[in-house]
Chain A
Amino acid sequence: MENVNDLRDQLTKTITRPIEKIVKFFITASAFAAILISISIIFTLLTEAINFFQDPAVTFKGYFTATRWTPTFQNPEYGVIVLISSTLYIAVIACLISFPLGLFSAIYLSEFATKRTRKVIKPVLEVLAGVPTVVFGYFALNWITPNIIQRFIPGTGVFNALSAGIAVGIMIIPTVASISDDALNAVPNSLRNGSLALGATRRITSLKIMFPAALSGIIASFILGFSRAIGETMIVTIAGGQYPELNLDPRSAMYTITSSIVNVSLGDTPHGTTAYNALFALGITLFIMTFILNIGSDYIARKYRKEYE
Chain B
Amino acid sequence: METKETVQVNSESVFNVTDLSVSYGDFVAIKNVNMDITKNKITAFIGPSGCGKSTLIRSFNRMNDLILGAKVNGTITYQGVDLYDKMVDPVQVRRRIGMVFQKPNPFPKTIKENITFGLKVNNMTDNMDDRVEKALTQAALWDEVKDDLDKNALELSGGQQQRLCIARTIAVEPDTILMDEPCSALDPVATKKIEDLMQELVKEFSILIVTHNMQQASRSSDYCAFFTTKTSDDGKRRTGELVEFNETSVMFTTPDKELTEQYISGRFG
Interface residues of A (CB under 8 A from B): 115, 188, 190-191, 193-201, 204, 208-209, 212-213, 307-308
Contacts and interface: CB of A to CB of B under 8 A. Distances in A.
Given A193-B63, A194-B165, A196-B94, A208 B105 contact: no
27 contacts: A115-B68, A191-B105, A193-B63, A193-B101, A193-B105, A194-B101, A194-B105, A194-B106, A195-B107, A196-B94, A197-B61, A197-B94, A197-B98, A197-B99, A197-B101, A197-B169, A198-B117, A198-B121, A199-B91, A199-B122, A200-B91, A201-B91, A201-B121, A204-B121, A213-B108, A307-B108, A307-B154
A204 B169 CA distance: 17
B108 A198 contact: no
Sort A-B residue pairs by CB-CB distance and give the 10 closest, nearest first.
A199-B95, A190-B105, A198-B118, A197-B99, A194-B105, A200-B121, A199-B94, A213-B108, A307-B108, A201-B91
Contacts of B168: 198
A195 B117 contact: yes
Contacts of A204: 121
Interface string B122-159: 10000000000000000000000000000000100000
B103 interface: yes
B172 A199 contact: yes
A13 B132 CA distance: 69
Interface string B50-84: 00000000000101001010000000000000000
Contact of B107 (A115, A191, A199, A201): A191
Given A190-B105, A198-B172, A209-B107, 15 more contacts: A115-B68, A188-B105, A190-B101, A194-B101, A196-B63, A196-B94, A197-B169, A199-B91, A199-B92, A200-B118, A200-B121, A201-B91, A208-B117, A213-B107, A307-B154
Contacts of A209: 107, 117
B172 to A, nearest CB: 6
Contacts, number: 66
Contacts of A193: 63, 66, 101, 105
Given A193-B66, A307-B154, A198 B105 contact: no
Q: Is the interface of A mostly helix, strand, loop or mixed?
A: helix
Contacts of B63: 193, 196-197
Looking at B68, B117, B165, B172, which has the most chain A CB atoms within 10 Å of its CB? B117
A60 to B, nearest CB: 46
Nearest to A204: B121
A49 B37 CA distance: 80
Interface string B174-201: 0000000000000000000000000000
Nearest to A213: B108
A212 B117 CA distance: 13
A197 B98 CA distance: 6
Looking at A115, A198, A307, which has the most chain B CB atoms within 10 Å of its CB? A198
A150 B101 CA distance: 57
B112 to A, nearest CB: 15
Contacts of B108: 191, 212-213, 307-308
A191 B117 CA distance: 13
Contacts of B68: 115
B242 to A, nearest CB: 24
A199 B168 CA distance: 12
Interface in B32-64: 61, 63
Looking at B105, B154, B165, which has the most chain A CB atoms within 10 Å of its CB? B105
